[in-house]
A and B are shown apart, each in its own frame.
Chain A
Amino acid sequence: MAEQDISARLVELLTARGELLASAWVEAVSRTLRGRISLAELDRELHDLYTALVAGIREGGSDWQGEAYAEVRALLSELSRGRARQGFTPTETATSVLACKDILAPTADTPAEDIHAYLQLSKLVDSLALFTLEVYAKTREEIISAQAEQLMELSTPVVKLWDGVVAVPLVGTLDSARTQVVMEKLLQALVDINADQAIIDITGVPAVDTEVAQHLLKTVVAARLMGAECIISGIRPQIAQTIVALGIQFGDIVTKASLADALKHALRNSSTDLSINGGQA
């Protein structure tokens, strides 16, 4: 039997009892996922996929890498990324796709031509499952690198840049809890090393919203109460424009584009004696 005829027969089989088969697929998968994904979501996901798959076979035969399967691949990528993020295993993810074969599994009285159709579906589904696994692996990699980034965010070193000058480079997303830690560390450092200039560098902060701004403002006020001056540095152009549009006013707080500029300013204002022949403070 020619390839095309087999594809045509397969489409026939899949459309004739379409609703029934798609539901059987949903049912089989839902058993393997044991309620960790809502039935409604799974139902929508697999029904969409089923429809796209039938359309794909009709237009493109078994050429799953072709144009006719664009929708199928998009849906599978979405499914796979979702599973990876929700912590499903590779097996569980692949099974969601592989289970699609079983719905046409031949029995003792399946006619020969339908067995051909089943075999074609089986081969096709295997390829699609592999594709799904590949997307899964890629997504996991992305998640891992994002986690590594978050870990780095957790460490916020307060460093002594110069006599009388401390700096804290902020990197990554600032939430309340983390900003609180930074603020406490910074204030403690001011005391510990008897500094009167503090630089908060926000080069590594992706966005400054009102919450971050408020934390920054509070830190500056607290530092002032301790007799220290704060400079905010590392305000990149996109952050500057966003702050202006948002309407945040930093008032008389000194802001600088770069850490180097901030240090220059701090040294000029530091009460610590820094003159070259003036000896140690």
Chain B
Amino acid sequence: MSGLPPVPGTEHQTITIESNDDVVRARQLVRGLAQRCKLSLVDQTKLVTAASELARNTLVYGGGGVMRLGLVQRDGRTGVTAVFEDSGPGIPDIDQAMTDGWTSGGGLGLGLSGARRLVDDFTLETEVGSGTQIAVTKWAR
């Protein structure tokens, strides 16, 4: 998942994001894991908020999808990774979508760009007509 090795003995979980309740659940799962990973309260809140944004985008624009969640390791550090994946319309202009304040719907247009600022690692892969995958990671300090 997101190319990083998982922490041995822990399992990655996958949940579907098909409704608002799932967005809430995604948020709760991310918070639980962030606590287990001993992220600071600020970092927990940042990651949960980023996950909330991405989960809602998956639901609203991607037409639903999945979130994969797990603990990962790099250079002896532990982090929480969440990957959001949909097979929706994709994002035609990434730069535009990542611009603060740009929205194709009625949002604030801050979800994507804000999520990137809230996490340590952010990767976005998208293809028009086949879907979008966004991975975010927050590392324990």
Contact = CB atoms under 8 A, between A and B. Distances in A.
Q: Do A and B bind each other?
A: yes
B113 A247 contact: yes
Interface residues of A, number: 26
A21 B45 CA distance: 46
Interface string A200-220: 000000111111011000000
B52 interface: yes
A210 B11 contact: no
A214 B115 CA distance: 16
Contact of A210 (B48, B108, B117): B108
A141 to B, nearest CB: 15
A6 B101 CA distance: 69
Given A71-B9, A74-B9, A208 B49 contact: yes
Nearest to B23: A175
Given A175-B20, A176-B20, A207 B113 contact: no
A237 B44 CA distance: 12
B107 A242 contact: no
Given A207-B52, A239-B45, A175 B110 contact: no
If over half of A's interface residues share one DSSP class (helix, strand or loop), that class is named, otherwise mixed; here it is helix
A248 interface: yes
Contacts of B114: 210, 245-248
A247 B44 contact: no
A247 B41 contact: no
B111 A210 contact: yes
Interface residues of B, number: 28
Interface string A240-281: 011001111000000000000000000000000000000000
B82 interface: no
A209 B107 contact: no
A238 to B, nearest CB: 4
A85 to B, nearest CB: 10
A238 B44 contact: yes
A237 to B, nearest CB: 7
A238 B23 CA distance: 21
A224 B108 CA distance: 20
A206 B31 CA distance: 10
Interface of A: 70-71, 74, 78, 146, 173, 175-177, 206-211, 213-214, 237-239, 241-242, 245-248
Q: Which 10 A-B pairs have the closest CB atoms?
A: A246-B114, A238-B45, A209-B52, A238-B42, A245-B117, A210-B108, A247-B110, A207-B49, A207-B48, A238-B41
